[in-house]
Structure 1
Amino acid sequence: MKRRDFVQLTGLGAGALLLPSTMMGNSIPAEALLSPGMDIVVKKRMADVALNTAKSMGATYADARIGRYLNQYVFTREDKVQNVVNTESFGIGIRVIANGTWGFASTNSVTEDGIKKATEQAVAIAKANSKFQKEPVKLAPVIGQGEVSWKTAVKKDFKDVPVSEKVDLLLRANSAALQNGANFVNSALFMVNEQKYFASTDGSYIDQDIHRIWPTFGVTAVDQGAGKFKTRQAMSAPMGMGYEYMDGLDSEKLDGAAGLKLYRNSYDMVEDATIAAQQAKEMLNAKSVDPGKYDLVLEPNHLGLTIHESVGHPTELDRVLGYEANYAGTSFATMDKWKSGDFKYGSDIVNIVADKTQPGSLGAVGYDDEGVKCKKWDIIRNGILVNYQAIRDQVNMIDQNESHGCCYAQSWNDVQFQRMPNISLEAGKDPYSIDQMIKDVEKGIYIAGRGSYSIDQQRYNFQFGGTVFYEIKNGEIVGMLNDVAYQSNTQEFWNSCVKICDQNDYRLFGSFFDGKGQPSQISAVSHGSSTSRFNDINVINTGRTI
């Protein structure tokens, strides 16, 4: 399922029925989410059954992942609760190398007998596949971590918050939107807790407790006389945080351009819904954009999606090598460009990093699903492509001997593979605010929030829309615009980046359901940036037909 489909799901009474099965599991009562699950001592004993069985059958490497995945989703529309979903999924996945070849099997029978049978199956699969393997798997070395743990820095666990409190918040946001001119509104809360235990023959026993949350809504205003309607989506970002994200602390609010409220580290859903209704009404009578070249001022909630599609996906090494093409195609950022050492992906001020340790981000964990300690590394430095995203069995292909620590599986029932870490644009080094940026623009458009998007199968030519658009003339915002989308290619776009606001404006965008692979898996990833300016970008009018 595509990311944009999930935004639409929040308006469906049976929206939860369309969620990927991996995000569901067995339906349970809300109070069952509070169960502590399997004791860590038992997890270690069960994991050792898998590792010892694999080694006894000739495997040269094995890892076991015991996972308990807890999800809670709440859907509302106007003054009604449409659905409350609580699910749990629990099991173990075993991955092995035998005869130089990968094998994988999983089971929800987390007992000694169940684990032994699954491990035997994994080894048998590896040995059968080895008849067709041309080259043996080559793993980058990793230091065994021993017994360690990591946990998202949660101040308020969503499982401890009554469902009634969550419903009340959504309905208050809906009511605020309706009172301020919206005709329709739907809202949702997605909350996830991954309890993951990893063990490997390298000597790691890693226990992790990971939390994510995503509040969202869609507000629609209708002009019945003109037969028009406009919708404004939430300005929230999915976060790797607990329910404290919903507290809406005043100290965490930021002022965007045109009076837009933006949020960092906490989110005021009622305030955002209020402003959304007012802006949706304003959109009904806003001017339609005149096509042409504009300087674009892009705020982080918008720019994050552009980063995701034009930098995140094309620097995944499996796409670069042509091993992966599902969902997002391959990549124009081929090995020859990287090896040249001077490929200008962007202008000199463009510095993009991968970071699995960024607090509050969706991708933040202590260790990846191969037991590699997570880190931060450069993808683009001073505009030059300097690295990719790679895991233990890939880094040798780019002459490196250390995994980047970006391996992930969406559940215990899926084999882990390379997934996008947080990919972010570094903030500008010099003090520079949004107001200063607007004043420096003679003819431009300020774009906030995510919208429609399209990009080709090499992640090169693209078109992006947004949520709200404001025209800039002679250093001032003069009014709202409609029907805006911009077109460019990845290299041209990033080389047109001329200014980036400083760290005070830095915020995260997130993709809660990013799809990849066949069979498909989803993951969650954040993209940070400050508001940035891109000069002379081609803008089209999406409301006009030829």
Structure 2
Amino acid sequence: MKRRDFVGLTSLAAGALFLPSFPSLAGEPVELARLLDPVMDAAINKRLADAALNAAKSAGASYADVRIGRYLNQALFTREKQVQNIANTESYGAGVRVIANGTWGFAATNNVSEAGLAKAAQLAVQIAKANAKAQKEPVKLAPQKGYGEVSWKAPIQQNAFEVPIAQKVDLLLAANAKAMENGASFVNSALFQVNEQKYFASTDGSYIDQDIHRIWPTFGITVVDRSTGKFRTRQALSASMGLGYEYLTPKAQDKIAGPAGSDVIGYKNSYDILEDAALAAKQTKQKLTAKSVTPGKYDLVLDPHHLGLTIHESVGHPLELDRVLGYEANFAGTSFATLDWKKQGKPYGSKLVNIVADKRQPGSLGAVGYDDEGVQTKEWDLIKDGKLVDYQKIRDQAHIVGQNESDGCCYAQSWQDVQFQRMPNVSLRPGAQKLSVDDMVKNVEKGIYIAGNGSFSIDQQRYNFQFGGQVFYAIENGKITGMLEDVAYQANTLEFWNSCAATCDQSDYRLVGFFNDGKGQPSQSSAVSHGSATTRFNGVNVINTARKI
């Protein structure tokens, strides 16, 4: 790596220290023009893929797939009135996965030529045969028809890479200015953009070309009371989305107000970063003088921007079949929701809890047409009327639970990583009956409204947990009465979801997303969204995070 590249990436990381969930920018630093090069040619990729598949079969593979990938990233970082860094990266190569002697083998190469891919395929077969000596049972794949030559493209309106950097920087600096005008002492902002160009081919007869886009605008604000040294922070209430730059063109119909008495604003399919930055500064100033919460039992009214993280940790991860089976145990792995537990028929939640997995949700981070082992994506129920009915699974897992098809949730973070089971979009269905947030609050005698996700902790089996947030408001006798601070709630997964008492209707439904969902060893990162409407949970234990025991 050249010194200027090292310095550039180091300052990039430093600029992200106070931003949530900083995404890694895998790949080599490149000039901006490289990000605007045409997408990969499908005809060329088919020829390259066939070279790998033929080489794998000739070497003794009973099955093979190849993924040719071009991964583009751009990140812009600002602080107050200045740009801290702009980074453009590209990663390009191919990974070949095979089954030989009933065992998986994998190899990757950045030599994207027929000879390079053929060599990688031969190496993958050698690795599989070596692994077979320790294999107890042969790999059993769920049947999968070949789709022939097909393609899928994210339905974006404006490619974020094509928007001039000056325009994007001006928007971030304008957001910083709005925050400073409204009382922020410090502000960092950033804009992350991703384009995954992926070509998949397999011996099943599929040749799949996909073009995937993601975007994430975010900021972090700090307000300091210089007379006391006390400070408070608030992060953006944006969502990372599977959209183009149109997400940053705010539309009035996409704004959803929180309950009366709070000044929270939620965003659906577009985001107003200027409005959110100004509001964040005002709210952060209010947090300096907000009443510290009294510990006890409260009814919680949880905004979608907050509830998404709770869904992710207490439903998304524990229902990954590899965790359930004990295959994923090193990186905060395993699950309480074992196959035996499911057979007992215990309720996961109240009858209002209906949670669905769906990698097709428009605008979601997980939206793709096909997963990374060539399975067409779909929607399926995980929890129905409070009962656990299914898990998330891929081709070599389906037979373990008596099923004959994959759910299409296999993913690798890049061409050089092997694909494995990853969380799809996991969402709580909105209520069927018309219910607004204000109507929900009217039925709360003693409660707390929470928006935004904050720090959290959850155990290895995804059972006992604690969650914070960004802003908190007291609810007394059906009305918001003021801001609170130092709030976190504690529960276990089953108690929490069984306390679900009401959920708003479709008009309040929104997505929240996470760019960096880590899993596996070596660790890989994936992007996933979670949808919900505002939801109430009764009688949840709330602690004061500022009190000493």
Q: Which residue of 2 aligns with 1:520?
A: 523
Give the secondary-structure state (helix, strand or coil) at the position aligned to 2:178.
helix
Instruction: Count the aligned residue pairs.
Output: 537
Q: Which residue of 2 aligns with 1:338?
A: 342
CA drift of 1:22 comes to: 6.5
Q: Which residue of 2 aligns with 1:4?
A: none
Q: Which residue of 1 aligns with 2:3?
A: none
Query: For the residues of structure 2 that align with 1:520 and 1:108, how far apart are their CA atoms?
Result: 20
Q: Which residue of 2 aligns with 1:387?
A: 390
Alignment partner of 1:47 out of 25, 45, 49: 49
Q: Which residue of 1 aligns with 2:162?
A: 160
Q: Is 1:179 the counterpart of 2:154 in the alignment?
A: no
CA drift of 1:492 comes to: 0.3
2:255 counterpart letter in structure 1: K
Contact 2:23/2:515 (<8 A) preserved: no
Pair 1:19–1:85, CA change in 2 (3 A): farther
Alignment partner of 1:137 out of 136, 139, 145: 139
2:194 counterpart letter in structure 1: V
Alignment partner of 1:290 out of 284, 287, 294: 294
Contact 1:449/1:468 (<8 A) preserved: yes
Contact 2:318/2:337 (<8 A) preserved: yes
Alignment partner of 2:65 out of 45, 63, 66: 63
CA drift of 1:224 comes to: 1.1
Unaligned runs of 5+ in 2: 1-10
Give the secondary-structure state (helix, strand or coil) at the position aligned to 1:121.
helix
Q: Is 1:13 the counterpart of 2:15 in the alignment?
A: yes
Q: Which moved more, 1:37-46 or 1:352-361?
A: 37-46
Contact 2:64/2:203 (<8 A) preserved: yes
CA drift of 1:250 comes to: 1.4
1:53-75: CA deviation from partner (whole Å, max 9, x where unpaired)? 01111100000000000000001
Q: Which residue of 2 aligns with 1:105?
A: 107
Give the secondary-structure state (helix, strand or coil) at the position aligned to 1:235.
coil
Query: For the residues of structure 1 that align with 2:76 and 2:298, how far apart are their CA atoms?
Result: 40
Q: Is 1:276 the counterpart of 2:302 in the alignment?
A: no
Percent of paired sites with the same residue: 67
Contact 2:21/2:515 (<8 A) preserved: no
Q: Which residue of 1 aligns with 2:241?
A: 239
Q: Superposition pairs for residues 124-523 of structure 1, below 5 Å?
A: 124-257=126-259, 258-340=262-344, 342-523=345-526
Q: Which moved more, 1:19-28 or 1:455-464?
A: 19-28
Contact 2:19/2:219 (<8 A) preserved: no
1:452 counterpart letter in structure 2: S
Query: For the residues of structure 2 that align with 1:309 and 1:500, how far apart are their CA atoms?
Result: 19
CA drift of 1:252 comes to: 0.9
Pair 1:10–1:315, CA change in 2 (3 A): farther
Query: For the residues of structure 1 that align with 2:331 and 2:515, how far apart are their CA atoms?
Result: 15
Q: Which residue of 2 aligns with 1:91?
A: 93
1:326-380: CA deviation from partner (whole Å, max 9, x where unpaired)? 333210001012223x220000010000001110000000000010000000000
Contact 2:336/2:462 (<8 A) preserved: yes
2:209 counterpart letter in structure 1: D
Unaligned runs of 5+ in 1: 1-8
Q: TM-score normalised to the size of structure 2?
A: 0.96
CA drift of 1:21 comes to: 9.8
Q: Which residue of 2 aligns with 1:5?
A: none
Pair 1:364–1:373, CA change in 2 (3 A): same
Query: For the residues of structure 2 that align with 1:91 and 1:66, how far apart are their CA atoms?
Result: 6
Query: For the residues of structure 2 that align with 1:16 and 1:429, how far apart are their CA atoms?
Result: 40
Contact 2:40/2:197 (<8 A) preserved: no
1:195-241: CA deviation from partner (whole Å, max 9, x where unpaired)? 00000000000000000111110111111112200001100011010
1:448 counterpart letter in structure 2: A
1:430-458: CA deviation from partner (whole Å, max 9, x where unpaired)? 00000001111000000000001000111
Pair 1:293–1:527, CA change in 2 (3 A): same
2:113 counterpart letter in structure 1: T
Query: For the residues of structure 1 that align with 2:331 and 2:81, how far apart are their CA atoms?
Result: 36
1:309-338: CA deviation from partner (whole Å, max 9, x where unpaired)? 000000000100111023332100010122
Pair 1:542–1:312, CA change in 2 (3 A): same
Contact 1:232/1:280 (<8 A) preserved: yes
Query: For the residues of structure 2 that align with 1:374 and 1:14, how far apart are their CA atoms?
Result: 34
1:270-300: CA deviation from partner (whole Å, max 9, x where unpaired)? 0000000000000000000000000000000
Query: For the residues of structure 2 that align with 1:59 and 1:22, how far apart are their CA atoms?
Result: 34
Pair 1:93–1:236, CA change in 2 (3 A): same
Pair 1:41–1:22, CA change in 2 (3 A): farther
Q: Which residue of 2 aligns with 1:121?
A: 123
1:312 counterpart letter in structure 2: G
Q: TM-score normalised to the size of structure 1?
A: 0.96
Query: For the residues of structure 2 that align with 1:20 and 1:107, how far apart are their CA atoms?
Result: 27
1:494 counterpart letter in structure 2: W
Contact 1:10/1:186 (<8 A) preserved: no
Contact 2:12/2:84 (<8 A) preserved: no
1:358 counterpart letter in structure 2: Q
CA drift of 1:115 comes to: 1.0
Contact 2:12/2:85 (<8 A) preserved: no
Contact 2:214/2:240 (<8 A) preserved: yes
